[in-house]
Amino acid sequence: MLEQEATHINMQEVVAGIDIGGTNTVIGIVTKSGQILSEHTIPTKCQTTFDGYIKNISTEIERLLTELEHEYTLKGVGIGAPNGSYNLGAIVDAPNLDWKGILPICKEITLNTGVPSVVTNDANAAALGEMLFGAAKEMKNFVVITLGTGLGSGIVIDGKLVVGHDGFAGEFGHVVAKIDGRQCGCGKRGCLETYASATGIRRTAFKMLADINQPSVLRNITFEKLSAKMVTEAAKTGDPLARAAFEYTGLILGTRLADLVAILNPEAIFFFGGLANAGELLFDPTRRHMEEYMFPVFRGKVKLLTSGLQDKNAAVLGAAALIWQEL
């Protein structure tokens, strides 16, 4: 009996990190040091009902734990999800999920697993992941900018994630970059993410192809087939139009980051996501324009950095970091 109790006491503690996307849901078992012991992907639309989906997640967590070489104690579940509200413990009207309204995901996960759970949006999770497991371990004030299909941000001030009154703080992608600008999926016009994101640079390149009579390897590609990766590859070969698209993206993003710095005074801003892989093609114009439009007292002080989690499963690590911080 004493041996069994000692074994239980010595069992290593782990959490489950869950990344919910419109297409797939990734579930990982993560240690406190940020090691992913096991992970698996299931289709987000594997069940027609939300209850069925939650049961699938809970069953998968249990399966991953039982298949590990050693015994572990599950301490909690962290969830990164579109429109995830930390304060409500719910997903609220996520545009890319079939289930609408307020989905009380934390309550349901806890009922099914017997451990505490917490949810936030993917950018907030990425910021916590950066602080616990990435390049911001020694930082108390920083911002993570996620540059994927859209643009999100996770803000850490004085070592704490900023969640706001309703739990939706950090929607930097929906600040206005241009009055009466491009139509955004949120219903507004001119949102930053319509210019500074993988989708945004694709729109910029296509508009330049229409407006500028200049040779480009992108000219014979249809809008449906044109991708941010194609624009990046063209820019790397010196294509002038592709490089102009990055310059314009850097102008829009850099000026808005100058505003963000004036409000938050961060030590660093981290770029994460597909467009961040463009490296100095994006960083150089963004840095130049940020410094140009920055309030003088902040010039030369704010670092633009690539995420330290760029080559890891940052979404799962970020979700895991969320619950580890709560325990």
| Statement to judge: residues 243 and 284 lie in one domain | yes
Q: Order the strands of the 72-80 sheet from edge to edge.
A: 36-43, 24-31, 12-20, 72-80, 117-120
d(CA 81, CA 315): 10
| Statement to judge: residues 121 and 156 lie in one domain | no
d(CA 99, CA 121): 16
**Sign, Cα dihedral of 214, 215, 218, 222:** positive
In a domain, 218, yes or no: yes
In a domain, 133, yes or no: no
Residue 241 one-letter amino acid: L
Residue 131, H or E segment: helix 122-133
Residue 160 one-letter amino acid: K
| Statement to judge: residues 195 and 301 lie in one domain | yes
| Statement to judge: residues 147 and 295 lie in one domain | yes
Q: The tokens of 37 are what?
A: 């012991």
Digit-by-digit pLDDT tens for the chain (327 residues) are 434 444 445 579 999 999 888 788 999 999 999 999 999 999 988 778 999 999 999 999 999 999 998 899 999 999 998 889 999 999 998 877 888 899 999 999 999 999 999 999 888 988 999 998 999 999 999 999 989 888 989 999 999 999 898 888 999 999 999 999 999 988 899 999 999 999 999 999 999 999 999 899 999 899 899 999 999 999 999 999 999 999 999 999 999 999 999 999 999 999 988 899 999 999 999 999 999 999 999 999 999 999 988 767 888 999 999 999 888
Strand partners, 183: 189
Total residue count of the chain as it appears in this document: 327
Per-residue pLDDT at 173: 93
CATH number (domain holding residue 215) = 3.30.420.40
Which residue range(s) make up the domain with 86? Answer: 2-128+313-326
In this structure, the dihedral spanned by the alpha carbons of residues 85, 90, 95 and 99, taken in order and rounded to 10 degrees, is 180
| Statement to judge: residues 90 and 188 lie in one domain | no
| Statement to judge: residues 19 and 75 lie in one domain | yes
Contact status, residue 282 vs residue 315, Cβ threshold 8 Å: no
In a domain, 225, yes or no: yes
Domain count within the chain: 2
* CA-angle at 317, arms to 314 and 323, nearest 5°: 140
Please give the DSSP secondary-structure letter assigned to residue 189: B
d(CA 192, CA 250): 12
Contact status, residue 91 vs residue 84, Cβ threshold 8 Å: yes
| Statement to judge: residues 178 and 123 lie in one domain | no
Per-residue pLDDT at 5: 46
| Statement to judge: residues 157 and 248 lie in one domain | yes
Among all chains, which residue has been given the structure tokens 């309204």? Answer: 101
| Statement to judge: residues 148 and 124 lie in one domain | no
| Statement to judge: residues 284 and 238 lie in one domain | yes
* CA-angle at 174, arms to 169 and 178, nearest 5°: 145
| Statement to judge: residues 78 and 152 lie in one domain | no
In this structure, the dihedral spanned by the alpha carbons of residues 75, 81, 87 and 89, taken in order and rounded to 10 degrees, is -60
